[in-house]
Structure 1
Amino acid sequence: MPRLGRVKHSASTLLDSLDRRLLARSAHIRPTGVDRSLLIASKLANHSVLWMGVAAGLAATGGTNRRAAVRGALAVAGASALANGVAKPVFPRRRPPPDSVPFVRRLVRRPESSSFPSGHAATAAAFATAVAIESPKAGLVVAPVAAAVAYSRVHIGVHWPSDVVVGAALGVGVALATRRWWAVRIEEPASIGGSVEVAALPQGRGLVVLLNAGAGSDDDSLTTELRERLPAATFVELDTERDIIEQIHAGIDSTDAEALGIVGGDGSVLAAAGIAIERGLPLAVFPGGTLNHFARDVGVTDVAATTEALEAGSAVLIDIAEVHVDGHTAELFLNTSSLGGYPDSVRLREKWAPRFGKWPAAAVAMVRVLASAQPLYARIDGTEHAIWMLFVGNGRYSPVDKVPMSRPDLHKGALDVRYIRADTRLSRLRLVVDALAGTLGNSKVYVQQFVSKIDIEIDGAEVALATDGEVPRAGRTFRFASRPGALRVYRTP
């Protein structure tokens, strides 16, 4: 026998011997009530039913846990396909003999597929790892359950220990690989501009607080807390059936306002920010809407911290962006603006997000829109292009080589411009392949750049413009520009 063959045979013999010894030690563990629990856990994990149930529970709590549930479900699907659909047929192995463990532990119907690797261990490790990537706290809860499921396959005698080890390693690898095409959202606030002194407003004296009842939050506790913390402030309840801008101006004119406050979501904050800049007033943001992206990125999600900043007269400078449509007066946006199929994908995302979660809904919406979209023929800063859609972010979004997930910078006077080219062969298919492979950064159809301004001229009919999730108007010429440090927001440094 050649030397290499002898080495492989020796390694195989050693592994087989170790597997048998470890399985024998497991079989000789004294019977306890844990035996039944492990048997139940193993059965519940059949076809990943256990993990889908846990994912549903996590998703119901929303936020980070919902993202953890989606990543976990995707990792389970990938690990199951790789372990059961690829590895088992390629590396067939007999399962341990039925009499390897006591009768009380045995399954009535033993699986007939290859023993190597353990699909249960692969999906358990994939789910626990993926959940931990998004939510370490949830991962700590799930990990012991995943470990119990993985070990249970040895305990009940349907897998060799090495099957479980390799399966678990495969599952961890699949979960980690999801980060290549789906980045983890950074929860930390964005890097913002320098501090600036503004009027100190003890107990809210000189502050006009706008309350938008239609912002999307039905929780009155925020308003109650604000009235208690800011008893000297003037509160104006906005009527969504009337012109919001006129009501804001009227509220400011009704008192000697030194600052403007807003309780609402991104749309409400945008309206208040425009008027705050126009009237030369600093802005106090109290997030109370369905979407509070701007407040989260600026780091003003805590009512107590914002009221402390009001007391101290402490504020920071924030970049905003504007867009001129067909030469009309500039329209501001705080987060993002877009052309082409992107506005349609935003509508679908908002429709499906409550059921599936934001990012899965965004991915499905993007595919759906791209499948039926027509190319836009446009001149981008004078250069002709055919594009499917164009995205413009206020500030720098991250990652640059994947779908944007978070905004690490809001103070460098930059617009994050991204567009999908339609003038390359099989551009839609190539986009999907590059996105799944995590290679958008090198893709010929995905263009990303940082600029301070950009001009877009559409050849043909008017196209819809979306700003901060809304679709205010359509046009043919669009000039986007950053306005560095244009907005003063109350926040402690």
Structure 2
Amino acid sequence: MNRWPRRRNQGFRQITHGLGTLDREVFEAIAESDTPLLDSAMPPLTRAADHSKLWFAIAAALMASKRPAMQRGAVRGVLSLGITSLFTNQLAKRLWTRPRPARTSVPLARQIRHFPTSNSLPSGHSASAAAFAVGVGLESPPAGFALALLAGLVGLSRVATGAHYPGDVIAGFGIGAGVAVLGGRLVPPIVEARLPVTEPLTVDTPKRPTGKGVVVIINPASGSGTGARVLDEVRDALPDAEIIELGPDDEPEAMLRDAAGRAEVLAIGGGDGTVSTAAGVAADAKLPLAVFPAGTFNHFAKDLGCDTVGKTVAAIRNGTVSCVDLVCLNHEFIVVNTASIGAYPLFVQTREKLEKKIGKPLAGVYAMLHTLRHDSPVRIRYDNKTLQTSLFFVGNSIYLPPGFAPSRRTRMDDGLIDVRFLETGRKFARTRILGALAFGRLPRSPLYHELQVPEFSFTSLDGPISVARDGEVGHEFENISFTTRYRGLPVYRPLR
């Protein structure tokens, strides 16, 4: 009755003995190879990897690249390396005693000065190399691929210099990669969404090299004086255009509707709130709209590709027009960028004020804490659900990235409304939201809701609430709806 366990134990010993023999034979083959390249390249490489100096230097270079994916990869790689090093040296090396290879088994030119005396299994250098490479690769696959090749060479250097058997290196690679992958499961990497790109709907429009038929309305006081500079540039670039300056007592919408009655092209220079009004007037009059960046932030103009006066002028001269979406608030008011209820504007202002000083992640956490502490939540009902929220965002077309730091649009004609809000009425909601934001898991939090839909409506259960749109605090409503006007506005913009 005891023969089967004995046979299994004998089979296991035979397998491990065979693998150990193969391991030593591969080591001897590498050690005995007469290759000048190994003699010259492997010792410096293995010394560079001592105490992870090589990986820390690469991490510093990735942080200096100013590319968010590489910067996140550097942080994840260093953290994975640190955990792996602790696990390997304090636990893994104590589980299985295995002597190092004989120092004299490799040529003298390849021998390292300070030969390690700890257990051979697993290779700590290899574990750290794999942990760093895989950690970086989770955030930036191209950089991770290049580092994986370098990590492989570091593992080879440990065998070539006689510090480890190949099996030690393979075990180290497995441990390092495993720790990095486990970290990726606990704190998932940020995957930037890429939206499908389709051909824009272009409109045949006459070229206007001198601006004939264009009526331009500009607020010289907008953008802390930017409007006055834009006014001079437009006057010089489009001498035949009719230019109207808005005074402090003028009503923009009335001036725009009057201009639309005689214009072939309606042009506007001002902040996003004024641009939103102009977009509504142009859409009603079935006129193409030209936007000059004369405000403070110029989000709509920048997303169009008209971040300079010269680009808008070139589009007018060349007659390049395509259609973009508009969002209607309660079928009456136009939204060209974003709308919000609650404290979303306060959150954005606080974050933008601090992000250049302490970085966007920390600024986002502080702004969220500040907002949640100082704002009164709103109870809303949508799709037969009732919830409490303090941060509610609506975007015209889909914004990137996901979460509560949307910053750009790759398309402005997808026919969708981007709806995002945080549910703050649940138990420990504030703590859970801040923790999810700090660890980059907010888009996966059950308190975060995100929808991409052609229309969205809800009801405020606490009476009329104010809706901010395109940076301006607007009217108060109790029943609120957003609907898309798909490709409802022709605009002058550079063709991409």
Q: Same fold (TM over 0.5)?
A: yes
| Counterpart amino acid of residue 393 in structure 1 | G
User: Compared with structure 1, are the counterparts of its residues 344 and 401 closer, same or farther at alpha carbon in structure 2 (3 Å cutoff)?
Assistant: closer
User: Compared with structure 1, are the counterparts of its residues 282 and 250 closer, same or farther at alpha carbon in structure 2 (3 Å cutoff)?
Assistant: closer
- Structure 2 Cα separation of the partners of residues 3 and 288 of structure 1: 80
> C-alpha deviations, 1:115-146, integer Å up to 9, x for none?
3473541354246535644xx6xx4xx96577
Q: Secondary structure at the match of 1:343?
A: helix
Q: Which residue of 2 aligns with 1:14?
A: 22
TM alignment of 1:271-420, pairs within 5 A: 272-274=278-280, 276-277=282-283, 280-285=286-291, 294=300, 298=304, 309-311=315-317, 313-323=319-329, 331-355=333-357, 358=360, 361-362=363-364, 365-366=367-368, 369-370=371-372, 375-380=377-382, 383-397=385-399, 407=409, 410-411=412-413, 413-420=415-422
- Structure 1 Cα separation of the partners of residues 387 and 259 of structure 2: 48
* Aligned with residue 170 of structure 2, among 162, 168, 173: 162
| Counterpart amino acid of residue 379 in structure 1 | R
* 1:201 corresponds to 2:204: no
User: Compared with structure 1, are the counterparts of its residues 251 and 425 closer, same or farther at alpha carbon in structure 2 (3 Å cutoff)?
Assistant: closer
**Retained in 1: the 8 A contact 2:81–2:176?**
no
* Aligned with residue 49 of structure 1, among 56, 79, 101: 56
- Structure 1 Cα separation of the partners of residues 250 and 235 of structure 2: 22
TM (normalized to structure 2)? 0.68
- Structure 2 Cα separation of the partners of residues 314 and 18 of structure 1: 66
User: Compared with structure 1, are the counterparts of its residues 255 and 400 closer, same or farther at alpha carbon in structure 2 (3 Å cutoff)?
Assistant: closer
User: Compared with structure 1, are the counterparts of its residues 410 and 314 closer, same or farther at alpha carbon in structure 2 (3 Å cutoff)?
Assistant: same
- In the alignment, structure 2 segments of 5+ residues that lack a partner are 1-8
Q: Which residue of 2 aligns with 1:457?
A: 460
- Structure 2 Cα separation of the partners of residues 439 and 247 of structure 1: 40
> C-alpha deviations, 1:284-324, integer Å up to 9, x for none?
34668886654565566798986665345442222122446
| Counterpart amino acid of residue 459 in structure 2 | I
Instruction: State the shift of 1:350 in Å.
Output: 0.8
Q: Which residue of 2 aligns with 1:58?
A: 65
Q: Which residue of 2 aligns with 1:62?
A: none
Larger radius of gyration: 2
| Counterpart amino acid of residue 336 in structure 1 | T
- Structure 2 Cα separation of the partners of residues 372 and 55 of structure 1: 37
> C-alpha deviations, 1:437-490, integer Å up to 9, x for none?
969569376363625141331527x8665544x362585636242241332112
Instruction: State the shift of 1:40 in Å.
Output: 7.2
**Retained in 2: the 8 A contact 1:201–1:313?**
yes
- Structure 1 Cα separation of the partners of residues 293 and 346 of structure 2: 26
User: Compared with structure 1, are the counterparts of its residues 294 and 211 closer, same or farther at alpha carbon in structure 2 (3 Å cutoff)?
Assistant: same
- Structure 2 Cα separation of the partners of residues 174 and 254 of structure 1: 61
Query: What CA RMSD, in Å, does the superposition of the two structures yield over aligned residues?
Result: 5.5
- Structure 1 Cα separation of the partners of residues 244 and 60 of structure 2: 43
**Retained in 2: the 8 A contact 1:319–1:482?**
no
**Retained in 2: the 8 A contact 1:125–1:171?**
no
* Aligned with residue 123 of structure 2, among 112, 115, 121: 115
Instruction: State the shift of 1:71 in Å.
Output: 2.2
Q: Secondary structure at the match of 1:200?
A: coil
User: Compared with structure 1, are the counterparts of its residues 118 and 25 closer, same or farther at alpha carbon in structure 2 (3 Å cutoff)?
Assistant: same
Q: Which residue of 1 aligns with 2:489?
A: 487
Instruction: State the shift of 1:72 in Å.
Output: 1.7
Instruction: State the shift of 1:238 in Å.
Output: 8.0
| Counterpart amino acid of residue 121 in structure 1 | A
Q: Secondary structure at the match of 1:122?
A: helix
User: Compared with structure 1, are the counterparts of its residues 318 and 449 closer, same or farther at alpha carbon in structure 2 (3 Å cutoff)?
Assistant: closer
| Counterpart amino acid of residue 349 in structure 1 | R
- Structure 2 Cα separation of the partners of residues 290 and 40 of structure 1: 53
User: Compared with structure 1, are the counterparts of its residues 168 and 448 closer, same or farther at alpha carbon in structure 2 (3 Å cutoff)?
Assistant: same
- Structure 1 Cα separation of the partners of residues 108 and 274 of structure 2: 66
- Structure 2 Cα separation of the partners of residues 210 and 166 of structure 1: 64
**Retained in 1: the 8 A contact 2:379–2:461?**
yes
Count of aligned positions: 470
- In the alignment, structure 1 segments of 5+ residues that lack a partner are 60-64
> C-alpha deviations, 1:64-116, integer Å up to 9, x for none?
x2x12332234224422552344655532769569468578746696979634
Q: Which residue of 2 aligns with 1:129?
A: 137
User: Compared with structure 1, are the counterparts of its residues 452 and 310 closer, same or farther at alpha carbon in structure 2 (3 Å cutoff)?
Assistant: same
TM (normalized to structure 1)? 0.68
Q: How much identity, in percent, do the aligned residues show?
A: 22
Q: Secondary structure at the match of 2:49?
A: helix
**Retained in 2: the 8 A contact 1:339–1:390?**
yes
- Structure 2 Cα separation of the partners of residues 26 and 95 of structure 1: 25
